[in-house]
A and B are shown apart, each in its own frame.
Chain A
Amino acid sequence: MSREFSTPSPYSRRHFLRNAGIGTALMGGAAFNPVLSSTASAASESYKVAPLHQLLLLSNEWCTIINDAALRAAKVLGLPYQSTTFNLNDSLALTQAQSAAAAGAKLFLTNSMDGSSLGPIAKTAHSLGGYLVNVGTDIPWTSPLDYGPGFSQDFHPREDIGFYGAVRETVRQAVAKFGDKATFFHITGPTGTFADDLRSAAVNHAVSEFPGVKIIGSLPGNWNAGDGQKATEDLISRLGVPNGIIAQNDGSLTGVLAALRGLGIKAGDKVLTCGVDGSTDILRAIKSGRVTATAFQSPAYHGIQAVAHLFDALNGYQFTTPERFVGFAGIVVTKDNVEGVLKRYVDNPNLPFDPRLLSHVISGDNWDPQAPLVPIKYEEYFGVVPKPAGYKPPAAYVASIKSGEFDRVTRQYEAAYKLKLEDFDYPGVKV
């Protein structure tokens, strides 16, 4: 593996990740071996460490990058690391977490599909003196505060800012190119998924700012290329060629591009497109002019931030209430900045963020979130779905807002943010 890391560019994250599966397996073998893990990092010599287990889906670029980044961040911080794939089935996630706990894991990172496993996993972690961070979906109107101290943090990309920005930019360019009556298709994700509801809300918000623009057709692309392709083909058959297509995931946007190519329609010229996530092929498609914009939400940051948070929690750092429900907006990528995004985040063999700087325990006053990380108000995040009957926000959350703690922490985070996402010359951390 070390030989791979020293290989000079050109080097893409795909090349690394193809080998990372083997690396993960090797790390997994070493994960619960105290002799091997004690030599993993200098950090382990002075800080408390414990095995970390991630639950993820390996057939998806987003999750694969989170896994790779978390693996390397754990290595930097000296945390033994193992992961299993739960196929986006929360019931299976719980089983796997309990098995991992039985094998010694205390720290858990999950990408929950629907939030149903979070409570039981948090309880399991807490019973072992450990913690859970979730970078996936919650049950709407719930937060870590509802599940006790074992559930240390929920982390979410801000679709209402990042994806909204990508859609807005694409619609703006479509209006400039085709006029203020531009028409769009909307390729949604799996029906009934909360994360997709957030994305739909962002699309509706962005489009509503251009009164003449209309979404004339919508079908689910289910966040994958095959369904995205089929949905686009069928919508074009039914409604003709639109001026733009908004896909609620870069996987389905890959299918949109394939459908346009198959029908002889030039993407980027006759039809403008946008997506969300920032997958490698879509970033390259932006560079070649076939895609107008995507919201790059850095899956690597999801993994590294979560590992640093778990490390801090294990080492006794007391997170305030607002710090347990946070998110960031990512970067709206267009042709103007795609070169930089590819340079720092895709073609860079190093970790694009420094896990040590993300650790309060290690960095102290020099702590830098390295992204516009901010606490999220529940009303802003969950507002797209109705509150459950008799809903009352957690008392600690209400107290945090009332006392001014929420605003104070928000300002602290903003002030601490020094290494910018847009600093594309940052070389990263060699692991």
Chain B
Amino acid sequence: MTTIATDAPRATDETAAGGPWHSWISRESRATWLPIIALFILVGCFVAKSSAFLSPMNMVVMGAQGGPLLLISLGATFVILMGSIDLSVGGVAALSAALSGVALHDAGVSHGLALAVAVVFGIVAGGFNAFLVTVLRLPSFIATLASGSIFNGIMLHVLGGMALSVADDDSFADIAGSQFIPLVPNVLFYAVIAWAVLTAAQYNTRFGRYTTAIGAGERVALLTGLPVNRYKAAVFILSSTLASVGGFFLLSRLGSATPSIGDGYLLDSVAAIVVGGTALTGGVGGIGRTILGVALITILSNGLNVCGVSSFTQEIVKGAVIILAVLTTIDRRTLLTVVK
């Protein structure tokens, strides 16, 4: 049996069964509102604890920290929405930063050309992932875990295991750090534009609808004639390209391509996507919510530091908040009935 886990019919059923209150606490409503409520609660707690949390400087800091994570998470959301997963985003971001760094430092290319290097690499990396998943028919979990390892290994060769400094002047750092809009670092500005475009694409284009449909039930999508492999390839290329661009902005922010530059972004991006309300089982959630997850992860991490919470306690609080967020946003009953 195959159940398509779409949001709308379930909400309607619950409305009919339990009235408007039931509707408000339906999974979809929870997924929309609870991250926002959680964000407000978190912000309230941090503001009460430290006035520095809402200072202009900390706004800039949080924006700069959240921008690359949002870029990396956007494409990966489509992959999860489609019922797959991309575990190579950290490796792609790291290798992208390394290639761009070498292009800037050794070849002396312009900043724009270095970004082009990152974009081209992202397309190639995504194409490689798509090949593994659609042609060789490897499960995406294994395929992208392996390709991420390959990308990391290549990155180590490219950098020789050492940090490569690329930004003695401020012009390269300004790509991510300067502000078109006051208090909004450019990296966040660009990431939000990408988020808006992709959100519109998810709900208003065939690409977005088909991606969700494939995630809700790949076999049904195939039987109805959707070109599943083509859409899978497109989604993996989108994911790697955005991760690669995220890596470029990480490079701009840090000023050095270091072997550890992509560390932590894989787990943070998956956490942000799931906390935002996109189900790992696919077909439920979307790009629109990922920005909430990214905001929650970024604010949580920054706020705990700004409020002076000990690093031991921080680990406990982060884990607890993520569990609570996922418990309240994911329909666990659906996980039992969806057949993939």
Residues from chain A with a CB closer than 8 A to the CB of B254 are 225-226, 229, 254-255, 258
- Any A CB within 8 A of the CB of B140: no
B160 touches A20 (CB 8 A): yes
With A17-B160, A229-B254 as contacts: A237 and B260 at CB distance below 8 Å: no
Per-position binary interface string of chain B over residues 257-271, scored 1 when its CB falls under 8 Å from any chain A CB and 0 otherwise: 011110110000000
Q: Are B50 and A238 interface neighbours, CB within 8 A?
A: yes
Interchain CB contact under 8 A, B64 and A233 = yes
Contact with B along A179-202 (1 / 0, CB 8 A): 000000000000100000000000
Q: Which of A272-303 contact B (CB under 8 A)?
A: 279-281, 284-285, 288
Given A61-B161, A226-B264: A236 touches B57 (CB 8 Å cut-off): yes
Question: For window 6-32 of chain B, which residues contact chain A by CB distance below 8 Å?
Answer: none
Residue A263 CB within 8 A of the other chain = yes
Is the CB of B202 closer than 8 A to any CB of chain A?
A: no
Contacts of A191 in B (CB 8 A): 311-312
Please classify the interface of chain B as helix (H, G, I), strand (E, B), loop, or mixed, using the class held by over half of its residues.
helix
The total of chain B residues at the interface (CB under 8 A) is 46
Contact of A21 among B61, B160, B306 (CB under 8 A): B160
A231-B305, A237-B58, A280-B162 as given contacts; A59 in contact with B259, CB under 8 Å: yes
Q: B127 to chain A: closest CB distance in Å?
A: 25
List residues 127-159 of chain B with CB under 8 A from any CB of chain A. Answer: 152, 156-159
Residues facing A in B243-263 (CB within 8 A) are 250, 253-256, 258-261, 263
Neighbour of A64 across the interface among B50, B58, B162, B302, CB < 8 A: B162
B177 to chain A, nearest CB (A): 5
Cα–Cα distance between A71 and B126 once the two chains are bound (Å)? 36
Contact of A258 among B152, B164, B255 (CB under 8 A): B255
Chain B CB within 8 A of A58 CB: yes
Q: How far is the CA of A254 from the CA of B168 in the complex (A)?
A: 12
**Is A387 engaged at the interface, CB distance under 8 Å to the other chain?**
no
A65 CB contacts on chain B under 8 angstroms: 162
A279 to B264 alpha-carbon distance, docked (Å)? 23
Residues of A within 8 A of B168 (CB): 288
Q: How far is the CA of A65 from the CA of B167 in the complex (A)?
A: 23
- Choose one: B163, B167, B177, B259; the contact of A280 (CB below 8 Å): B163
Q: What are 15 A-B residue pairs whose CB atoms fall within 8 Å in the complex?
A: A17-B160, A20-B160, A59-B152, A61-B161, A191-B312, A224-B258, A225-B261, A226-B260, A226-B263, A234-B306, A255-B254, A258-B253, A262-B64, A263-B60, A281-B256
